[in-house]
Structure 1
Amino acid sequence: MNATFYARTSDHGYETCVEHLSMTGCLAGGFAQSFGHLDDGLLAGLVHDLGKYSDAFQRRIQNPDHSGLVDHSTAGAMLLVQNGCPLVSMAVAGHHAGLADFGSQGELEGATYSGRMNKAFSAGDRNPLSLANEGKVQLHIPQSAFQKGTKLVSGTTSMDGQPKEQSFYTDMMLTRMLFSALVDGDRLDAEFFTSNRENRAEHRLLEHLKERLGPEALENGQMPTWSALRQASLAMSVECDAEDQSQIERLTKIIENKANQYLNKPNKKPLDIKRCELLAQCLAYGQNTSYGTGLYTLTAPTGSGKTISSIAFALKHAHTNNLQRVIYVIPYTSIIDQTVSQFEEIFGTDAVLPHYSEAPYQLKDESDMDETDLKRALAAENWNTPIVVTTAVQFFESLYSNKTSRCRKLHNIANSVIVFDEAQTLPVPYLRPCIRAITELVERYGSTAVLCTATQPELQPLFDESFNSGSVQIPEISPFTNDDRDSFRRVTIKRIGDVALDALADQLGNHEQVLCVVNTRKKAQYLYDRLAQDDAEGSFCLTTLQCAADRQRLLSGIRNRLDGGKTCRVVSTSLIEAGVDIDFPTAYREETGLDSIIQTAGRCNREGHHSASESMVYVFSTEGGCAPFLQQSIAAFRTTANSHSDLTADDAIRTYFKEILCLRDGNTASKLTGNDALDKYRILPLHRFDENMPFATIAKRFKLIDTPTVPVYIPLPDEGARLCKQLEHGDIDRTLFRKLGKYAVNVWPRHLEKLQSVGAILAVGRGKNAEEDCFILRDPDLYSSRLGLKLDDATADGIFV
């Protein structure tokens, strides 16, 4: 009992097990306190590495080169399940490899939680728990702490007198949250001991925590009492809250000052007056104590200043309700740069974390990062920053993930204001799971969710289905009436029926400046070829067959020509619709969903230089068919257009979204809750009692971007060629694929096979990295920066070797 047991080693010595378990326990408990589970977090941290008290692990830490890997997490998980804390046990069992499927209770083998636990218990005296119980560790955990530990909390609840489907949903989300708190606490303490990063936001917190626990006692292996640990954990939580509130208060003052500049500006134009009405209302609602945490909508037309108004509400609301941060969720990466730039200009770079794959700091090696880059890279691990700007993919996939890296941030989503920008883009095949996750965050984790859009989807029935209380009131923040929205009207939408592609090209050629958005890349390339015959310089094509680097360069050229009054005819796929700040006098849009048509309309007369009557958006259909996933949207649009003359009116938008939510494969479903199209991959049924908590299975199924496309990397001159050469040589580091992202063109399997069959691409990377086979374009004649990858031209002739 006098021996000292060690958890890890570094260049400056050894960390005792007592120090690591105490620090991790207090951190995890403090993080879990934000959603009312301090004891569970503390328990998880105190026992998560209990197996490190085994002789096998101590031999390994003394001589790692001659000792095999040792399972050091099963022992703590066993102790917890023995004492009736199954959810905490699952979090502990997965804190390295991730949350496993629970499995069946009789399993003795396999990768499931049950298989692992049963195998360990059947080992008898040889199991890690028995080794840890030989008097080598004194945890001082009172039985009352285990009794407080989280039991299964889900069950049959009633809604309007009707029983709900029995579900483990709440238990599984709570397990992920506890898992998040544990993983973050574990990783923070490990980093604190090994590298002591002073640029880590939590550095002072870690120093203060260690001082509270007593550095000498920890280093000498003296475990603090449960009471002392609990008090230290609670003090850490209070310190975290105070720091978060200080940050929110500072940013709230900044946005108030910025708002006053707008509100007090003299000689405002009529549209400016309306924008100020929205901003003033958002500020007023944000500071009104009667508007507590919950679910809100913010419905305001394009051009009304939604971005600034929504962040003003979010910060004021966070300050009023003592919330910790604002998370801005954006559907497309094409919008994020613009939003991040706005926020950085107002609040400064230190307050804003852009978390998406193409954020500049994500494309750098650590040796190339400046202080801001490094702070952002660290904050991206756990979202400990006052304003996070991220994608819907990152946000929702993290909530349904089982991986340590994805889940580590989850506990910092609790007690946040979450703004869902362009809320109408929530993916229909995953709509019910997304709504269920939002509901859980609002009901049980103290968060506020704001659905922010110009075209508010009709989601009331889905929220009624998800909330425990049944029917829920969703207050609208915007002050605008239908007449007010008319003041922002900038275009007239007109259906022109079927138009042949050649005739459409002729019509586009009659305009000096025009945007045409079509549904397929093939149609876009065909129309561009026709337009370029008469004016190659003034014609542009934008599709995902171009790499992002070329699209960004082309967009810059398009803006310059529009601003200079030069000829500018652009044919694009839908990638131009969301958030691209560009302004055409006339637009054409192939039939699709009404929300997408309105987004295209947002690129027409954007600055309001012309009247709505002369700024036309023509909606057409043409030959060539459409992708199956668009059929439901087109059917809903046609039904709406046949019954509403004004397609931008609120009642038309409501009708459209009701049609979307009630259509399944083009047919009317009998009722909303039976519509499988809203949970295409059966995510919610996997939370039923009889499914036994399949964490890994759910994570595998829940992929918002789940297409079988494969990236082909284009070796554009300079950086593109250099990165492709690095990939070809197998010189792969952490950031290579992020850097290569802007030189990638994603192609379908049949197109990939065609390119392979004619030797147009080079396969590289087999067995050299975690990625699947990677492909580099070999034939430069198949790629044009102005047109993209020419898949139909791939032949065996002229292959570049």
Structure 2
Amino acid sequence: MIAHMRKSDYKEQTVQEHLEAVSDIAKEFGKKVNVQSMAELAGYLHDMGKNTKAFSTYIENAVKKLGAPSVKIDHSSAGAKYLYERYYIDSPEKLSESISNMVIEMVGMVILSHHSGLQNFLQTDGSQSDFFKRVCREDLPHYEEVCTTFLNVQGNQEKVEELYQASLKEMKSFLLQYQQLSKQWQGKSHISRYVYYSILMKYIFSCLIDADRTDSRRFDEDDHSDLYPSNQLFFKESYDHLIDQLQEWVAGPEASHPINELRAVMSEQCDRLAEEPSSIYQLSIPTGGGKTFASLRYALKHAHLQAKDRIIYVVPYTTILEQNADAVRKIIKNKDMVLEHHANVIDDAESDDELDFYQKPSLKQMQLARDNWDHPIIFTTMVQFLDTFYGKGTRKARRLHNLTNAIVIFDEVQSVPIKHIPLFNSAVNFLHYFGKSSIILCTATQPSLTATAYPLLMDVDAEMVRDLPDVVKAFQRVSIKSKVKTQGWNANEICDFALDELENKQSLLIILNTKKAVLNVYHELKESSGYSVYHLSTSMCPQHRKDILQEVKKKLKSGDEKVICVSTQLIEAGVDISFECVIRSLAGLDSIAQAAGRCNRNGEYANGFVYIIRAHDEELSKLPEIALGQKVTEQDVLTRSELAEDLLSPAAIQTYFDFYLTKAAREIRMIDFKLNIPLIELIDQSKKYFEAVPQGSPRTSVRSMYKTLESRFEVIEAPTTGILVPYHAEGRDLIADLNEEIRDYDQLNLLLKKAQLYSVNVYSHTLRQLVKEDLIFPLHTEGVYALKDGGYHKEFGLSLTGEGELSQSIF
């Protein structure tokens, strides 16, 4: 029987060959969480349903274009049904029987979901479970032929029995590990076993998906390369390069500067901790304290000593991803071993149908171009991280197993969406306590993640920086003064105040909360200042922003002229830039602290000045977290004299987050609007829906409702679409190249990665307006859209009026 047929030479891969190869790969992936047998069992049975003459004909017709039947063949249910019929116990009375059912439910659900995304054990409408619906189906076509063919292969039945028995032991071990965790954190709320059952199942699902796709790709490309290369030598060499860089800095003229001495001390503390066992750490280095270098120093050494597979940086915004990735490349002196993965240039709609693959080569190429994060060092975003655990379909889940036995560094961890903190904490707990990963939470303003529902299980002494209050004081380089007034500041007033400050200063940064407010102040200053004025917002593609920042830094360094930059909060996170003065529109104290980090960053001046105002024309009704941050800073921090005098102190930050999280629970809708429950309940007990199962209907031991969770889960409430923009010759060339038919996978992959620098993410209402104004058009490469010239402006990016002005060079 045929599992796959190579289009280039019509070579066949048999079903048995595919099952054995996938199970071997899945087994290797599963070892990191000690569920290798469960993963192997899933791999061994996942395509059992292809053991039919009908499917062989289906594949042959599709590849040779002989007129494949339009009716799709269900090949995903047979393996799960076979497991259920052989091992499932209808009314388990013993713990061992319950454990057996859990194995069958998890592995069975993984198998039957491997082309659709995980399904539901319970339903919101009280109807039959997706699991029972599939495994109890009596009219599954070709099922008898499938079983006969599979069991006729010598050793298959014995292999399944062997893997089943080994899986029982693994499930018992997992339960024991959970019990030990629960005992260790006794007294903490919501350390729910159901949550970890659910994430464990998603992990096994990830192992199967990646193994299946990997073997299919290797067969299609006739690839026989090493599947499991070690990165240990690379980590050791990279650490040596980092230490060489450190020695150069120590010998340099700036080494004796107090700030640089402090950076060196904290970096050394991280180096020593790298010798300790894996843990969850906080790295609360003050803004400008060199946390990227310090965290990399820890990660490279720890990865080498503890044999970790990879280092993953998770950042809040794409705006800082390129900068941090470039900085790491320079330190380790290797460009190819650092992967960036962020922008959504291609629509993420799922399509795993094999017939689509064979009939639409461009679709297959684009899907293969999505990395599974099998790379030594990865930079990605919080959106991508959370989507890996909770996003829709199969493609993003493929990466999950590569987050285990890793070092995961969360940069600016305070940016985790408040609504998704329970899901974030649960994912991180799983990665550390079950997945053997080391976790670092980096920020100058640590949120109180250990004091929430479904808390982060982090020790009280998890801080990597010793004597943190003293370090924060030593790093103080600015004076912060509130000039908030009830009626707010309009664009003219902000402009006048900025120009007054520039009378005796060389540079000034204005940070406002909305793109509209930024654009208004930018236009005012351009018309009246006579100085060099720059605009930064996410209406500009990353390359455009990078060019602007480079030009601003150049002028700041020369000091030949006065410089003003007007920006949204994108400049706050990780951008290494320093102004003499900063004006910040009122926001959360964490944002104000980040803004202060762009002022007198390296101690260039005797003192820097940060002024807090409230911009009048900021509409925050659709930005509830920013609005709440404003409110808490104003009412609960600025009104307390002991805190207002030192807004960057750990005490002020702690007070802010305590009030913020408390008020957020009341004022920000934490539950799903449609379901009226927190989303995490869908992978917890699912009590509301479990109790609604009709009397006498079968109930599963695992209760997760991943299908419903994934359909409702969005990291960003209003999702965006990436649009290619004609910025400079490079952007126009990319649009032209992607408007051609591209058959070479490597070329397509290269173009798509480059396109991330020349795309702007737009919300649905903006997308509709672009369509209405005829400013957007689809490219030949499926799922990619581009902006016409009139839709992009050389100074401020996206222009919805169609009057954008472009030039070959903006400077």
Q: TM-score range by the shorter chain?
A: 0.7 to 0.9
1:682 paired with 2:678, answer yes
One-letter identity of the residue aligned with 1:486: K
Distance 1:763 1:312 in 2: 45
1:496 paired with 2:477, answer no
Residues 789 and 97 (structure 1), Cα distance of their counterparts in 2 relative to 1, 3 Å cut:
closer
One-letter identity of the residue aligned with 2:479: T
One-letter identity of the residue aligned with 1:761: D
Residues 553 and 388 (structure 1), Cα distance of their counterparts in 2 relative to 1, 3 Å cut:
closer
For normalisation by structure 1, the TM-score amounts to 0.80
Identity of aligned residues (%): 28
**Aligned-partner SS, 1:397:** helix
Deviation at 1:263, TM superposition (A): 5.6
Distance 1:616 1:636 in 2: 22
Residues 28 and 604 (structure 1), Cα distance of their counterparts in 2 relative to 1, 3 Å cut:
same
Residues 731 and 253 (structure 1), Cα distance of their counterparts in 2 relative to 1, 3 Å cut:
closer
Distance 1:135 1:462 in 2: 55
Distance 2:124 2:577 in 1: 58
Alignment of 1:523-602 (within 5 A): 523-535=517-529, 538-565=532-559, 566-602=561-597
One-letter identity of the residue aligned with 2:637: T
The aligned residue for residue 307 of structure 1 is 292
Residues 497 and 438 (structure 1), Cα distance of their counterparts in 2 relative to 1, 3 Å cut:
same
The aligned residue for residue 200 of structure 2 is 174
The aligned residue for residue 352 of structure 1 is 338
Residues 586 and 165 (structure 1), Cα distance of their counterparts in 2 relative to 1, 3 Å cut:
closer
Distance 1:429 1:753 in 2: 28
1:77 paired with 2:67, answer no
How many residue pairs are counted as aligned between the two chains? 716
Deviation at 1:166, TM superposition (A): 5.9
Map Cα deviations across residues 91-120 of structure 1 (whole Å, 9 max, x no partner): 12222332223355999999x44433333x
Map Cα deviations across residues 34-71 of structure 1 (whole Å, 9 max, x no partner): 11011112211211121222121233345443443433
One-letter identity of the residue aligned with 2:450: Q
The partner residue of 1:416 within 406, 416, 441 is 406
Residues 748 and 557 (structure 1), Cα distance of their counterparts in 2 relative to 1, 3 Å cut:
same
One-letter identity of the residue aligned with 1:21: L
The aligned residue for residue 705 of structure 2 is 694
**Cα contact 1:32–1:38 (8 A) shared by 2:** yes
Alignment of 1:135-150 (within 5 A): 135=152, 138-139=155-156, 140-141=158-159, 143-149=161-167
Deviation at 1:550, TM superposition (A): 3.4
Deviation at 1:134, TM superposition (A): 6.2
The partner residue of 2:462 within 475, 485, 490 is 475
Distance 2:108 2:758 in 1: 44
The partner residue of 2:5 within 3, 9, 13 is 9
Alignment of 1:630-649 (within 5 A): 630-638=626-634, 639-643=636-640, 644=643, 645-649=645-649
The aligned residue for residue 93 of structure 1 is 112
One-letter identity of the residue aligned with 1:409: R
Map Cα deviations across residues 292-339 of structure 1 (whole Å, 9 max, x no partner): 222111111122221111111122223333322221111111211122
Residues 109 and 125 (structure 1), Cα distance of their counterparts in 2 relative to 1, 3 Å cut:
farther
Alignment of 1:185-196 (within 5 A): 185-196=211-222
**Cα contact 2:770–2:776 (8 A) shared by 1:** no
Map Cα deviations across residues 447-484 of structure 1 (whole Å, 9 max, x no partner): 121111111122221387354xxx84452111243223
The partner residue of 1:21 within 19, 22, 25 is 19
One-letter identity of the residue aligned with 1:118: C
Distance 1:574 1:106 in 2: 43
The aligned residue for residue 462 of structure 1 is 452
Map Cα deviations across residues 685-725 of structure 1 (whole Å, 9 max, x no partner): 11133454222222232222231556666545645456667
1:452 paired with 2:442, answer yes
Residues 763 and 560 (structure 1), Cα distance of their counterparts in 2 relative to 1, 3 Å cut:
closer
One-letter identity of the residue aligned with 2:715: L
Residues 181 and 789 (structure 1), Cα distance of their counterparts in 2 relative to 1, 3 Å cut:
closer
One-letter identity of the residue aligned with 1:270: P
Deviation at 1:505, TM superposition (A): 0.9
Deviation at 1:530, TM superposition (A): 1.7
Distance 2:326 2:189 in 1: 48
**Cα contact 1:416–1:446 (8 A) shared by 2:** yes
The partner residue of 2:508 within 514, 521, 524 is 514
Map Cα deviations across residues 338-397 of structure 1 (whole Å, 9 max, x no partner): 22122212221243222223899x9xxxxxxxxxxxxx9989633222222211111121
Per mean C-alpha deviation after superposition, the further-off stretch among 75-84 and 38-47 is 75-84
The aligned residue for residue 420 of structure 2 is 430
Residues 478 and 128 (structure 1), Cα distance of their counterparts in 2 relative to 1, 3 Å cut:
farther
**Cα contact 1:183–1:404 (8 A) shared by 2:** yes
**Cα contact 2:777–2:788 (8 A) shared by 1:** no
Deviation at 1:270, TM superposition (A): 2.4
* 5+ long unaligned stretches in structure 2: 89-103, 349-365, 690-702, 804-811
Residues 537 and 324 (structure 1), Cα distance of their counterparts in 2 relative to 1, 3 Å cut:
same
- Root mean square deviation of aligned Cα: 3.9
One-letter identity of the residue aligned with 1:590: S
Distance 1:36 1:442 in 2: 13
The partner residue of 2:263 within 275, 280, 283 is 275
Distance 2:285 2:778 in 1: 48
One-letter identity of the residue aligned with 1:135: N
Residues 137 and 660 (structure 1), Cα distance of their counterparts in 2 relative to 1, 3 Å cut:
farther
One-letter identity of the residue aligned with 2:604: H
Per mean C-alpha deviation after superposition, the further-off stretch among 440-449 and 76-85 is 76-85
Distance 1:409 1:750 in 2: 31
Deviation at 1:256, TM superposition (A): 4.4
The aligned residue for residue 47 of structure 2 is 49
Distance 2:18 2:293 in 1: 44
**Cα contact 2:388–2:397 (8 A) shared by 1:** yes
One-letter identity of the residue aligned with 1:324: D
Distance 2:220 2:788 in 1: 43
The aligned residue for residue 784 of structure 1 is 793
1:38 paired with 2:60, answer no
One-letter identity of the residue aligned with 1:694: M
Distance 1:15 1:131 in 2: 20
Per mean C-alpha deviation after superposition, the further-off stretch among 278-287 and 403-412 is 403-412
**Aligned-partner SS, 1:494:** strand
One-letter identity of the residue aligned with 2:315: I
Deviation at 1:636, TM superposition (A): 1.5
Distance 1:634 1:677 in 2: 24
Per mean C-alpha deviation after superposition, the further-off stretch among 383-392 and 292-301 is 383-392
One-letter identity of the residue aligned with 1:100: Q
Greater relative contact order structure (CA < 8 Å, 6+ sep): 2
One-letter identity of the residue aligned with 1:624: D
One-letter identity of the residue aligned with 1:95: H
The aligned residue for residue 356 of structure 2 is none
**Cα contact 2:345–2:755 (8 A) shared by 1:** no
The aligned residue for residue 611 of structure 2 is 618
The partner residue of 2:599 within 604, 607, 615 is 604
Distance 2:779 2:376 in 1: 41
Deviation at 1:399, TM superposition (A): 1.5
**Aligned-partner SS, 1:98:** coil
Distance 2:468 2:685 in 1: 46
Distance 1:518 1:161 in 2: 42
Distance 1:162 1:442 in 2: 17
For normalisation by structure 2, the TM-score amounts to 0.79
**Cα contact 2:739–2:781 (8 A) shared by 1:** no
